Chains A and B, each alone.
Chain A
């Protein structure tokens, strides 16, 4: 029924492209990090979520200062959110992943213990701290100060230790994976404590000035401007990334490390810096996706990063993890299969019913309920693709990674 009307097909296409653009932007972060250090950065979904909250924060601040034009406020907010998330990505790497890429020393373990105690002092709810009932200002201030001193001390001790005893090594990959899952849980709970469990209303498209309407008629449907913006900015960012990887020194460094980190190091490529830049770029893309997502759905929540991050990860695997163009392709493929493919299946099922039962179909034929299983269908697509091409669509072993 749904596809008999061209308007419905057009609508499904628009929905799918939008969703696909978001998936692709997030999938890039997964695939780039995997391509370079073979780590599945499970906290990447949370970076996306933090990006949407930073975007909301920036937009509200800009609105507070009277800057409401969509042509000024939105790019500024996207920029702010991208910078914030880039910093978060670097912090993630240096706190959770980098220490696992080198031989542990007792002083590193000791500084980690100091950092944990300091963070507990600052964050532990109950009395004082974020989300707790605030006790007397003096107690609170001394807790915060004490915690901060401990954390700073730990960081400094760790840095000194790193300088004196930095030896790269190959640790079991599961260590970094567990660390990533831990960071994901940590970030989710941090945001929950900071903003609460409820859905936070995002800035609406109609709140901006500079647009006469939030949608325009095309293809027989009302197309929302945010949908156009989502697809266009996703494509632009991907184009920029592609240029970065293929045309710049940094990109060449990334590709070199992806092929053979030790050889790259011997050739004088600053491996640590390139890895850091990879986190910067991947996290910034996720931040852009976060703000576009917030504008499109109209509300965001602390656990939004989980399911969307998971789907973006599937998109990355679908396209061949480690392959940038594969992630883009996988994202759009997943977005379209959740919308157009599901609608086609619904339509095909009903058409089949008409073939079998004629006009009696509505009474005798079971209702098409493929839509209820749209998430399962996304996984089904993944399974089918992986059966046919075990390393993903573009992830053939010969094709260069990153």
Chain B
């Protein structure tokens, strides 16, 4: 494990550096505060490390704009207390190496109190070490890999629910709402797809699904007829696919050609135009899951959607509301810290305020569990109708089977906490309208 050791010494060395800079940060701010008499003075920096160039540049820029928007709204209130608020946008270009460098750049600034951190799981994973050693609160608006929040770092949190939740909610939804019993599970052997499929299989068996087969395919392969012929022999009620849109399109197309009528169920990475481009008419009736409640159905999001459009002259595509809520959580924490007059331990104060937040934002109420994962664990389901994703319903983990017989049959770890969010404003359905037509092509 020389790699791990290397990483450790590497992180250690930089940790020292970051620690020193933290020291300077503290001394700097305390000087400021002594000058201005207790609670005021100086600059506060909100970091935003996002892919503003590279393959996910569109999403990254949208998130950065949302962060700027939140900061502009908070700026007058900080001014009142004598603080100048600035946003430091750094580019990680969806590249893990650049992500770590950008994390050092942003945490190296003494005035940085928190970071809106990363779009890609692959970027956030290595950078968590940097934020942890610098003691800077980093909240991600988009990353969904399970491992990110499993490291026990108090400085790490995220606003969207992680991939594990998706597999569980989908299993419950398929079993209880679609009356499916037998499922053939297929995955694409990626961290994302296989992880999702495994969670689906395990949780599915708990909620009463029968898994007829569990197979992997290769990303880039286009001929799945042999596998589907095998699947067909078992005649499952549904096929669940954990993977991306290309393979999903080919799978559903070839399944229909082979005369398989089973329901096709897949994940958030499939929600995009490419799925229709590849799968064509065969996609009709396919069902996919997507995190959160559709924004158009959230009263809390309506204001944001229209003001974003007004400010930037383009509609919200996908993750802007997540970035907006993330920035607001951090800014609110900083404001609390400033109000309390704790500028000497600003980073620590922001960490504790963020982890204790009960933020009523565009996505509903965001609260974090001990790992830093959101308790707002809702997934929405869409069905393909006439070549478009039509909204079906939004399901909370553990709630899909509530009308069913044995209560607590699934008993997932998270089920104990879920009731607390059922009553919030986000869960109340607004007037029916169309779901977002565009969607991110998976946050890997």
> Quick one: which of B223, B230, B257 contacts A222, CB cutoff 8 A?
B257
* Interface contacts beyond A2-B233, A222-B257, A299-B246: sample of 20 additional A-B pairs, CB < 8 Å, sorted by A: A4-B233, A5-B233, A8-B229, A8-B232, A11-B258, A198-B274, A199-B274, A199-B277, A199-B278, A297-B223, A299-B277, A301-B220, A303-B220, A307-B221, A339-B225, A367-B213, A369-B215, A371-B215, A371-B226, A371-B230
The answer to whether B280 and A204 have CB atoms under 8 Å apart is yes
Interchain CB contact under 8 A, A8 and B230: yes
Per-residue CB proximity of B182-215 to A under 8 Å, as 1/0?
0000000000000000000000000000000111
Q: How many residues of B contact A (CB 8 A)?
A: 28
Task: Please name all residues of chain B whose beta carbon is closer than 8 Å to the beta carbon of A19 when the two chains form the complex.
Answer: 223
Q: Which residues of A sit under 8 angstroms from B230, Cβ to Cβ?
A: 1-2, 8, 343, 346, 371
Residues A343 and B226 in contact in the complex (CB < 8 Å), given A301-B220, A372-B215, A372-B216: yes
Q: Once the chains are docked, how many angstroms separate the CA of A8 from the CA of B258?
A: 10
Residues from chain B with Cβ under 8 Å of A375 in the complex? 218
Interface check A179, CB cutoff 8 A: no
A245 within 8 A of B: no
A-contact bits for B262-282, CB 8 A (1 contact / 0 none): 000000000000100110100
B383 to chain A, nearest CB (A): 22
Does A342 interact with chain B (Cβ within 8 Å)?
yes
Closest B residue to A369 using CB positions: B215
| Residues of A in contact with B, size category | 35 or more
B303 smallest CB distance to A (angstroms):
35
Which of chain B's residues 213-242 have a Cβ closer than 8 Å to chain A? 213-216, 218, 220-223, 225-227, 229-230, 232-234
Q: Is B278 within 8 A of A201, CB to CB?
A: yes
A296 to B253, CA, bound (A): 11
15 pairs, CB–CB < 8 Å, chain A vs chain B: A4-B233, A8-B232, A11-B225, A11-B258, A12-B229, A222-B257, A224-B257, A299-B222, A299-B250, A303-B220, A339-B226, A343-B230, A367-B213, A369-B215, A372-B215
Question: Which of chain A's residues have a CB closer than 8 A to the CB of B257?
Answer: 215, 222, 224
How far apart are the CA atoms of A215 and B218 in the complex, in Å? 27
CB-contact partner of A1 in B216, B234, B278, under 8 A: B234
Q: Which residues of A contact B225 (CB under 8 A)?
A: 11, 15, 339
Chain B nearest CB: distance from A49 CB in Å? 12
Pair A299/B233 contact, Cβ less than 8 Å: no
Residues on B with C-beta less than 8 A from A221 are: 258-259
- Which residues of B sit under 8 angstroms from A307, Cβ to Cβ? 220-221
**In the complex, A359→B286 CA distance in Å?**
34
**B364 at interface by CB-CB < 8 Å:** no
How far apart are B226's CB and chain A's nearest CB, in angstroms? 4
Which chain B residues border A11 with CB–CB below 8 Å? 225, 229, 232, 258
Least CB separation from A306: chain B residue:
B220
| B292 interface residue per 8 A CB criterion | no
- Main SS at interface, chain B: helix
Residues of A within 8 A of B246 (CB): 199, 299, 301
B348 to chain A, nearest CB (A): 44
> What residues on B are CB-neighbors of A204 within 8 Å?
280
Q: Contacts of A296 on B, CB cut-off 8 Å?
A: 223
Return the chain A residue nearest B213 by Cβ: A367
Q: Tell me if B249 and A299 are in contact (CB < 8 A).
A: yes
Q: Which residues of B contact A304 (CB under 8 A)?
A: 222
Report Cα–Cα, A375/B221, bound state, in Å. Answer: 11
Residues of B within 8 A of A299 (CB): 222, 246, 249-250, 277-278
A294 closest partner in B (C-beta)? B222
Does chain B have a CB within 8 A of A374? yes
A374 to B213: give the CA distance in the assembly, Å: 16
Query: Which residues 289-308 in A have Cβ within 8 Å of B in the complex?
Result: 296-299, 301, 303-304, 307
Minimum Cβ distance to chain B for residue A356 (Å): 20
A386, chain B: closest CB distance, angstroms: 24
Write the A321-338 contact mask toward B (1 if CB under 8 angstroms, else 0). Answer: 000000000000000001
Q: How far is the CB of B277 from chain A (nearest CB, A)?
A: 5
A367→B214 contact, CB < 8 A: yes
Q: Are B215's CB and A298's CB within 8 A?
A: no
Q: What 0/1 readout, one digit per residue, does chain A (109-153) give for beta carbons within 8 Å of chain B?
A: 000000000000000000000000000000000000000000000
Shortest distance between the CB of B375 and any CB in chain A (Å): 35
Other-chain contact of B280, A2, A16, A298 (Cβ < 8 Å): A298
**B271-323 with Cβ < 8 A to chain A:** 274, 277-278, 280
Identify the interface centre among B229, B257, B259: most chain A CB within 10 Å of its CB. B229
* Residues of the B chain whose Cβ atoms lie less than 8 Å from the Cβ of A215: 257
Q: How far is the CA of A304 from the CA of B227 in the complex (A)?
A: 20
List of B residues within 8 angstroms of A198 by Cβ: 274
Provide the bound-state CA to CA distance between A1 and B230, in Å: 8
Sorted nearest first, the 8 A-B pairs with minimum C-beta distance are A297-B222, A11-B229, A339-B226, A15-B225, A2-B233, A372-B216, A2-B230, A299-B278
| Distance between B153 CB and nearest chain A CB, rounded to angstroms | 35
Contacts of A2 in B (CB 8 A): 229-230, 233
A4 and B233 alpha carbons, distance in the complex (Å): 9
A115 to B317, CA, bound (A): 45
Cα A11 to Cα B249 in complex, Å, equals 21
A222:B259 contact, CB within 8 angstroms: yes
What is the CB-to-nearest-CB distance from A133 to chain B, in angstroms, rounded to a whole number? 13
A204 to B280, CA, bound (A): 9
Enumerate chain A residues within 8 angstroms of B226, measured Cβ to Cβ: 12, 15-16, 338-339, 342-343, 371, 374
